[in-house]
Structure 1
Amino acid sequence: MRRCLLSLALCLPLHAAASQSLVVCTEASPEGFDIVQYTAATTADASSETVFDRLVQFAPGSTRLQPGLAESWSISDDGLVYELQLRKDVKFHATPWFTPSRAFNADDVLWSFQRQLDPNHPWHKLSPRGFPYAESMALGQLIERTEKLDEHRVRFTLKHPEAPFLADLAMGFASIYSAEYADQLLKAGKPEQLNREPVGTGPFVFERYRKDAQIRFRANPDYWQGKPAIDKLLFAITPDPNVRVQQLKAGACQVAVYPRPTDIAALRQDPALNVLELDSLLVAYVGINTRHPPLDDVRVRQAINLAVDTRAYLRAQYGEGNASIAVAPYPATLLGFNDKLNPWPFDPEQARRLLAEAGHKEGFKLSIWTRPGGGPTNPNPGIGAQMLQADLAAIGIKAEIRVYEWGELIKRAKNGEHDLVFMGWAGDNGDPDNFLTPNLSCAAAKSGENQAGWCDKAFDGLIREARKVTDPARRAELYRQALAIFHEQAPWIPLAHPKQFAALRKGVEGFQLSPLGSNNFSRVRVLP
């Protein structure tokens, strides 16, 4: 008899890898299914990549834009007006809790955006988490009007040009909801169901969710891009990367996302598995809460950066060749990377001098926040936190490690309760702005999404100007200036730009890693 390897109330038989089903071992529970409230990649995988579609989408495995629910668009010469022609006859999901009476149209687009942007919209105040992307990207100050021209045409009018706007429309927060379903929930007094029982136009229909155990979907038979090849999709929530690998080898799942980089060499030796690898748009970092003294002193933040042996951290967490050392908030492959910047050296002696200069010769106490389990930007949270703790102790800073479940960590960090917090970010649209504005802008500091709570007026002005400029050379120069300020002010401990991996059982075809860090299974086939 086969021994069950899962400790999460889920034990799947070996024959679960039937040709019409796919089981994915994933790293964490979603925060919810109303994607506009959240930013975690696991939440995107369970909602925007399965249940929902957007007006514009990224070509599989790339950052190239292509039509989505909008089949075409035009942009005015001044860059202020975007008109989009919507697809016709796109159906919303029919579920036990909702039966649509009409196809997708312009009303759904207006509802999806005005809900986030209009304080007077009946749904605007019904989001317990707010709208982190819309708030941190200051979309309310960007979009002047969203208009319905007819049933299948919409117009966005901007207050100023925004270079990444079209790419922004392909991000998860721009997912299109059913206005009819929302009206039904509001009339029934059950708006919270939008986050529990999602309805979209995407490739998979949500069926049910058992917290910390599994999420079940079925193929959308009416999907506008064609019914997926797999009839059933199941996410087996498996925070422990060791268990994910065990389940994959046992055949209880056919895909294991986010394996530990240090396990990759061994996985490649298994003849039953294929390992995918991609240079993704990822950054791992520790956010330094500049709202908490003495972390509001730039000398203290610089001392912390000098105290960390980043190269030793990379070797322990990722192994050889599986990550590059981070200098800036985004990888060197993106526009405007400042190649004149160097990683902080490992210099505890200079760190102690800076602490003494700042009046902390005897050190001080702080907290290090991390999560259980592990993912692509933090493969082994326990080891990483202990290494940081030891490095800080060497310069007189006594650090207490606190471990929180992912959803709780995000909520508390947004409230600014932490001192240092291990975080990661996957670029959502291939534009530098997506790393800077959501994570480091003054608007993001106000909303709480900027875990450093850092608001530098010069930095903020540069990135706002870069969004308005369409000339790539000018944008690049503005970003280089902004990155120089970031480096000098040190609101983060930049750690690594990890590669992305996934391990698949042989017979799984059509799955592509995305440089944006998300996982989409709509084109996957499982051979018998």
Structure 2
Amino acid sequence: MIWRKSSILTLALLFIFSTVLAACGGGTGADSGGKTLIWGRGSDSKLLDPAQVTDGESMKVTKNIFDTLVDYKEENTEVEPALAESWETSEDGKTWTFHLRKGVKFHDGTDFNADAVVFNFERWMDKDHPQHKGGDFPYYGYMFGGYKGDEGHIIESVEAVDEHTVEFKLKEPQGPFLANLGMSAFAIASPKAVKKDPEGFAKNPVGTGPFKFVSWKKNNSITLEKNEDYWEKGKPKLDKVIFKSMPDNTARFTALQSGDIDVMDGMNPSDAKTAENEDKLKLYKRVGMNVGYLAFNVDKKGPWQKKKVRQALNHAVNKKAIIKSVYAGLAEPAVNPMPSSVWGYNEKVEDYEYDLDKAKELLEEAGYEDGFKVEMYAMSDPRPYMPDGRKVAEYLQADWKKIGVQVDIVTYDWQTYLDKTGKGEHEMALFGWNGDNGDPDNFLYVLLDKDNTRTPDAGNISFYKSDELHDVLIEAQRSTDKKERTELYQEAQEIIKEDAPWIPLVHATPGLATQSYVKGNLFEHPINWYDLDDVDIQK
């Protein structure tokens, strides 16, 4: 019955998308006005103000509209100049001075300068700022210890020294500070455009990036066009980019095979294997800097508030079966909240082995020998770390049934899912994270520290509040010694393993496929895989 309905839906979607896309086609067409790249993706963006964005589908677009002060090198996560040409820091690590690139314009023709940098940071940090509207700028809170007036807020001031020099003063040294500034959330927006409509800016973005925003047809497409005055000479090479929302993975792959789109991500693992054998397509498989996990909401009253229950459920997950079936082998079991590709990974932490007898024993010790009922959120849209959340949930449901735990699976569209989990409405939820800057802080502090349980945009959706973990993570932040930070992050992973606020499930190897005529460094970077400034169409 389920398969019959799924097949009918897929056929319907195939018809709809083939009809819609036939009007434009992929690649360079007579109606495109030059080189147009069409990217088929699993869902729409949520917002296009980078400082408000926490989801990958929005970042995929904002990364191409905006620039940051610093960026990451093409081959790794080391920092290199971007809007800032150079910088220096004081001996105590509390003062950072950035020398800005001259002659850069925002898409509305206004100048990029030190005042623009100050405006953006003050808008993000100060909840009383007249343009602090339309959102709480969650990433700012995640990465800089909250907002102005909060006890943990790390930035004391941001000041323009002259037109092209800006100075940051920190209350304490912050080890990941420079890496944080390269994150797309801290891209610099046009002050003029923000002041004109602070609440509407997220739907009509203006940056300095390689592409300008043109239009947004909600749940359909977002169109960008080339920034002819981009400061990095010779870029971009494309004239137009269209991000097309196509929720069904199979329909999206069929559109790629037929040439209606040029790029797709969120592939079914089985389709990735097919793409690998098609001459007209190119498959990219990236060792992802990601984690897919199940979060227990320990703020919600229920059995999962007991550590032994969480440990029991960790023992009752067959990760190898999930990877074989849902990921077609394109993933590895997760042990820690961050992948081994991130420095500071603790290889000594051992996973909870799949042991149903041990799980039953722990449940009995916790007083739940007869099991219990729980509601589990599963995302409906494909994500790079989880191509089919519903199927993963069904595996967990089947495993847990063997130990007496009854799971009711619920799904929502992606934007509703983000809203509900950010507010803590779930009991348990499947979720995931793609690393932003290659620093352990970006996984451990953002996803599991008590500072990041602020609603409605909690990064820590387990709402786990460990003072012991917090002290370790803050000490690691305030150190600029990588060896010391490594030791602290390894200690943090041991605390997390013992308390089990999550079930770390997988580190996925996401697949992206393009037409063979799409050239450039697309998908080869561990973080900036959606950066299109160097991508070209060569037929």
Q: Say yes or no: TM over 0.5.
A: yes
Q: Which amino acid aligns with 2:522?
A: Q
Residue in structure 2 matching 1:308, options 317, 323, 331: 317
Residue in structure 2 matching 1:483, options 471, 493, 498: 493
Displacement of 1:370 in angstroms is: 1.3
For residue 233 of structure 1, what is the aligned residue in structure 2?
A: 241
For residue 218 of structure 1, what is the aligned residue in structure 2?
A: 225
**2-structure distance, mates of 1:288, 1:262:** 30
Displacement of 1:167 in angstroms is: 0.6
8 Å CA contact 2:522, 2:529 repeated in 1: no
2:52 is aligned with 1:52: no
**2-structure distance, mates of 1:184, 1:40:** 25
Residue in structure 2 matching 1:511, options 501, 521, 525: 521
Matches within 5 A, 1:358-373: 358-373=366-381
Displacement of 1:10 in angstroms is: 3.0
2:275 is aligned with 1:260: no
**1-structure distance, mates of 2:245, 2:355:** 41
8 Å CA contact 1:260, 1:375 repeated in 2: no
For residue 48 of structure 2, what is the aligned residue in structure 1?
A: 33
Displacement of 1:333 in angstroms is: 2.5
Gap change, CA 1:4 and 1:250, over 3 Å in 2:
farther
Displacement of 1:64 in angstroms is: 2.1
Q: What is the DSSP-based 3-state SS (H/G/I as helix, E as strand, rest coil) of the residue aligned with 2:326?
A: helix
8 Å CA contact 2:146, 2:451 repeated in 1: no
8 Å CA contact 2:131, 2:195 repeated in 1: no
Gap change, CA 1:300 and 1:248, over 3 Å in 2:
same
For residue 36 of structure 2, what is the aligned residue in structure 1?
A: 21
Q: Which amino acid aligns with 1:230?
A: L
Q: What is the DSSP-based 3-state SS (H/G/I as helix, E as strand, rest coil) of the residue aligned with 1:256?
A: strand
Q: Which amino acid aligns with 1:520?
A: D
For residue 122 of structure 2, what is the aligned residue in structure 1?
A: 114
Q: Which amino acid aligns with 1:24?
A: W
Gap change, CA 1:263 and 1:16, over 3 Å in 2:
closer
2:225 is aligned with 1:200: no
Matches within 5 A, 1:262-281: 262-281=270-289
Matches within 5 A, 1:31-430: 31-47=46-62, 49-94=63-108, 100=109, 102-124=110-132, 126-128=133-135, 130-137=136-143, 138-140=145-147, 141-185=153-197, 191-226=198-233, 227-292=235-300, 293-320=302-329, 322-430=330-438
Q: What is the DSSP-based 3-state SS (H/G/I as helix, E as strand, rest coil) of the residue aligned with 1:7?
A: helix
Backbone CA RMSD of aligned residues: 1.6
Displacement of 1:272 in angstroms is: 0.7
For residue 4 of structure 2, what is the aligned residue in structure 1?
A: none
2:447 is aligned with 1:433: no
Q: Which amino acid aligns with 2:182?
A: A
Gap change, CA 1:517 and 1:56, over 3 Å in 2:
closer
8 Å CA contact 1:85, 1:153 repeated in 2: yes
8 Å CA contact 2:64, 2:533 repeated in 1: yes
Q: Which amino acid aligns with 1:68?
A: A
Displacement of 1:477 in angstroms is: 0.9
- Normalising to structure 1: TM-score of the pair? 0.94
Structure 1 alignment gaps of length 5 or more = 95-99, 186-190
Residue in structure 2 matching 1:458, options 463, 468, 472: 468
RCO higher in 1 or 2 (8 Å CA, sep ≥ 6)?
Answer: 1
* Post-superposition CA distance 1:32-79 (Å, at most 9, x none): 1112112111110111x1111100011235212111111111111111
Residue in structure 2 matching 1:523, options 509, 522, 534: 534
Of 12-21 and 280-289, deviating more is: 12-21
Q: What is the DSSP-based 3-state SS (H/G/I as helix, E as strand, rest coil) of the residue aligned with 1:458?
A: helix
8 Å CA contact 1:355, 1:361 repeated in 2: yes
Displacement of 1:5 in angstroms is: 3.2
Identity among equivalent positions (%) equals 34
- Normalising to structure 2: TM-score of the pair? 0.92
Gap change, CA 1:250 and 1:370, over 3 Å in 2:
same
**2-structure distance, mates of 1:469, 1:225:** 34
**2-structure distance, mates of 1:77, 1:439:** 31
Structure 2 alignment gaps of length 5 or more = 1-11, 29-33, 148-152
**1-structure distance, mates of 2:490, 2:26:** 51
* Post-superposition CA distance 1:425-452 (Å, at most 9, x none): 0110010110011111111123422110
Displacement of 1:390 in angstroms is: 1.1
Displacement of 1:266 in angstroms is: 1.4
Q: Which amino acid aligns with 1:524?
A: V
**1-structure distance, mates of 2:15, 2:174:** 47
Of 6-15 and 329-338, deviating more is: 6-15
For residue 3 of structure 2, what is the aligned residue in structure 1?
A: none
Q: Which amino acid aligns with 1:295?
A: W
Displacement of 1:181 in angstroms is: 1.6
